[in-house]
Amino acid sequence: MVVDEKAQRAANYHEETIHSFMEMIAAAGLKNHEEIKRKHVNRRIGMHKIAKYNEIYPAIKKGSLLKKETTPIDIV
């Protein structure tokens, strides 16, 4: 392995990954990564079924995981 070549390949890979990510953000109609919500992410949950993350993982109240008594029962 030639370290200088590996470093350049890693830098190229990183740059292309960021570029592809930004293309996906734009394709979703978003302006930047901070706008991504669970409704934008899909997951295959069966051979012929796909669901959005907000359908799979319901929202929980901010701070509810800090105390056992306010933690949703299915997370405990």
pLDDT at 44: 96
* Size of the chain in residues: 76
C-alpha 3/C-alpha 15 separation (Å) is: 18
pLDDT at residue 67, rounded to an integer:
86
Q: Specify the pLDDT at position 74.
A: 66
Tell me how far apart the alpha carbons of residues 13 and 4 are, in angstroms, rounded to a whole number. 14
First to last CA, the chain: 47
Give the pair of three-digit tokens for residue 70: 């306010």
pLDDT tens, position by position, for the chain (76 residues)? Answer: 777 789 999 999 999 999 999 999 999 999 999 999 999 999 999 999 999 999 998 888 888 889 888 888 765 4
Give Rg (Cα) of the chain: 19
Confirm whether pTM is higher than 0.85.
no
pLDDT of 19 reads: 97
